[in-house]
Every structure is written in structure tokens, then in C-alpha cells.
């Protein structure tokens, strides 16, 4: 790895060879693809010109297929109008209105570029609203200091974060109650490999309210997959704030933090901003993506195709248990 100009082989950690193939270094992945040149639909071509059927779909950031015509046209039109400028584009408010019309619990929204910074913004807003500092999380919420340990993260920062166990009703209830009036926010990925138990979601919602904390659903993976509005839509359990990303703009860099108007108003009491948060290409791509999802009922299609694939993988697992070590996940993802 040290011979590569980009430390760690690539800037997206989950795309490095050892993450994809279990190899220690790129030169040990003999015959397997390490870098690509293009993608279209559900197919990818590597640097050697070999064609693959892709089941990764940009780590879940693409649900309509690579290079979707309607999304590309919208992006191309935005490029032609200048991409970014000194004022926010009309598209920003138009997309905010479109999202709220389809996901009504997003009463107010702010746009950012990555899921990691959008979840960090939700945590910041919760701390503003409650005046508290403690955070409980469940799942993966990005690489920023507030939720990650490891070298380079101050111990004082890490001490403010704890984890609750996915789908563990009693453990979750106990940890939220123990944090009590020190707890600012509970941030959960509502799907971690498997779907959540409804009882667990209800406990997360009730106990967070009980201690006066803010509940954030990290729907970066689940929105525009299980449903346009993610787990909150499928199960009818409403968070105070939600974060959307990945498939939101079908591969273009965009994330959203949104929710209750009173909580989102905290953006005026702190600083959440990014120079390129309002560049118009990703905003246009997201609007076109939302229109396609609604028009074509994409989530139902993902369910049908994903169910067929998952059943087939389970059959292969039973038939070739020595080669297929395990099958997990849910149909839409």
C-alpha cells in the first residue's frame, strides 16, 4: 500500500481491495478488479476492460442504475447553468419542498455533501436544543470525531459517546435511562444487516422522549431503499430528525438533515455550512431521482428483485456451504 500515491490505496475506505476481497494489498488480489473505468446500468468495466455485473452499486449510493438518463439530463442542465454561484440556487428550495411533500416529517431541511457531516449536523442541532452533550448511537455514522474512537480522537470527545445494542429492547432501555438528563441525542441506524423489531423501535422512541433527548434516524442507507422515507415510512415510527444520503441523488454527492421545525431552527444558533452544499448539480440529480422513485415505484421494484436475488443466494449457500460462508441482509438493500 505504501507505494500508492493515495495512502491506503483509495480515498473511499470501503472500496479498498482488502475491504472488498479480504486481501492485504492490491497486488495480492490476482485476477480481481481493483480500479474501474466506467459504469452503466448495473454493469462496471475495470481498468483491464473486463465487464462485470455489479451488486455493490457504489456502496448503496446508486439505486436507479449507473448513468440513469433522467438523472444525467438533470445534472447536465445544471452544469450548463454554471454549477455554483454567489447566491443559493432556486433548486435548493424546490428540492426541500419536494422532499417535505413526500416525507412530511422533514418539516425543514439543510443540505450537505456527505452522510458523515449530515449526521454530525443532526447531533449538533440536538445539543443546541437540549443544552446537553452525551450521545448514544447504534450503527455506523461516519468517520468524524463525535462518534469514532482511535488514534487522533481526543479522549474527552470519545467519552461523550456510547453505543446501544441493535434490537436489544432491555439493553437499550437501560442505557438510555442511565444516561438520563445528560443525554442530548440518540442516533440509530434503524437497519443493521437485518430489519429492526417493532418493539425495539418503539422503545427507542419512547425512552428517548422520556429523558427529554432528541431521536435521530440515520437513514443514509435505508431512505430511497426500504421506502423513499426509509424505516420511518415503513414502520410509522417518527424520529425528531432524520438524515438521508447515498441513493438520494443516485450517486451524486448530497446528504440531508431534516425534521422538526423547532429543532432545525437551531441552525441559526450554531454554524452548519459548506461552500458546495448548494452546488446545483447534485440538487438537480436528487430532484430527478425523487421523481423517478415516485413515478416508477422503485422501492417496490427493489423489493421484488432483491427478494429473488436473496432467495437464490440462500439456495447457493445451502448447496455450497463450503464455498459460500454466509448470506445476510434484506431484499431492498
Domain coordinates in residue numbering, the chain: 103-271
Average pLDDT of the chain, as a whole number: 95
Distance CA 310, CA 327 (A): 8
* Ordered strands of the 51-53 beta sheet: 36-40, 43-46, 51-53
pLDDT computed for residue 1 by the predictor: 47
- pLDDT above 90 (res 27): no
Helix (H, G, I), strand (E, B) or coil at 76: helix
Span 12-22, mean pLDDT?
89
Name the band, by pLDDT with cuts 50, 70 and 90, for residue 21: confident
Name the band, by pLDDT with cuts 50, 70 and 90, for residue 229: very high
- pLDDT above 60 (res 274): yes
pLDDT computed for residue 174 by the predictor: 98
**What are residue 257's DSSP bridge partners?**
110, 243
Distance CA 125, CA 321 (A): 48
Span 18-41, mean pLDDT?
80
Helix (H) or strand (E) holding 81, with range, is none
Burial class (CB in 10 A: 0-12, 13-18, 19+), 304: exposed
Does domain 103-271 fall into CATH 3.40.640.10? yes
**What are residue 108's DSSP bridge partners?**
259
Name the band, by pLDDT with cuts 50, 70 and 90, for residue 25: low
pLDDT computed for residue 26 by the predictor: 53
Contact 203, 179 (CB under 8 A): no
Over residues 97-147, the pLDDT tens digits come to: 999 999 999 999 999 999 999 999 999 999 999 999 999 999 999 999 999
CB atoms within 10 A of CB 89: 19
Instruction: Decide which of 205 and 17 is more confident.
Output: 205
Over residues 62-106, the pLDDT tens digits come to: 999 999 999 999 999 999 999 999 999 999 999 999 999 999 999
Distance CA 81, CA 69 (A): 19
Span 306-311, mean pLDDT?
96
Amino acid at each position: 500500500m505504501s507505494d500508492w500515491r493515495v495512502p491506503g490505496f483509495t480515498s473511499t475506505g470501503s472500496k479498498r481491495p482488502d475491504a472488498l476481497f479480504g486481501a492485504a494489498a492490491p497486488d495480492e488480489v490476482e485476477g480481481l478488479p481493483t480500479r474501474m473505468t466506467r459504469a452503466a446500468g448495473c454493469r462496471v468495466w475495470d481498468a483491464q476492460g473486463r465487464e462485470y455485473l455489479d451488486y455493490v452499486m457504489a456502496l448503496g449510493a446508486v439505486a436507479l442504475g449507473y448513468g440513469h438518463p433522467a438523472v444525467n439530463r438533470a445534472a447536465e442542465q445544471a452544469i450548463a447553468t454554471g454549477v455554483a454561484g454567489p447566491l443559493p440556487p432556486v433548486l435548493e428550495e424546490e428540492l426541500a419542498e419536494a422532499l417535505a411533500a413526500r416525507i412530511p416529517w422533514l418539516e425543514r431541511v439543510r443540505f450537505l455533501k456527505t452522510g458523515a457531516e449530515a449526521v454530525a449536523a443532526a447531533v449538533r442541532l440536538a445539543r443546541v436544543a437540549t443544552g446537553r452533550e452525551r450521545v448514544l448511537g447504534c450503527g455506523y455514522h461516519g468517520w468524524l470525531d463525535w462518534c469514532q474512537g482511535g488514534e487522533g480522537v481526543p479522549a474527552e470527545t470519545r467519552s461523550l459517546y456510547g453505543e446501544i445494542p441493535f434490537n436489544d429492547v432491555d439493553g437499550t432501555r437501560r442505557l438510555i435511562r442511565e444516561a438520563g438528563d445528560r443525554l442530548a441525542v440518540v442516533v440509530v441506524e434503524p437497519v443493521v444487516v437485518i430489519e429492526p423489531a417493532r418493539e425495539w423501535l418503539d422503545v427507542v422512541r419512547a425512552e428517548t422522549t422520556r429523558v427529554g433527548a432528541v431521536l435521530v434516524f440515520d437513514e443514509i442507507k435505508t431512505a430511497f431503499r426500504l421506502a423513499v422515507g426509509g424505516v420511518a415510512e415503513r414502520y410509522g415510527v417518527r424520529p425528531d430528525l432524520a438524515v438521508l444520503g447515498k441513493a438520494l441523488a443516485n450517486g451524486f454527492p448530497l446528504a440531508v438533515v431534516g425534521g422538526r421545525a423547532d429543532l432545525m431552527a437551531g441552525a441559526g444558533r450554531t454554524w452548519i455550512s459548506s461552500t458546495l452544499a448548494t452546488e446545483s448539480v447534485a440538487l438537480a440529480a436528487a430532484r430527478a431521482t425523487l421523481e423517478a422513485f415516485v413515478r416508477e415505484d422503485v422501492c417496490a421494484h427493489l423489493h421484488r428483485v432483491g427478494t429473488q436475488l436473496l432467495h437464490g443466494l440462500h439456495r447457493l449457500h445451502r448447496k455450497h456451504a463450503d464455498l459460500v460462508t454466509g448470506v445476510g441482509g434484506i431484499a431492498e438493500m
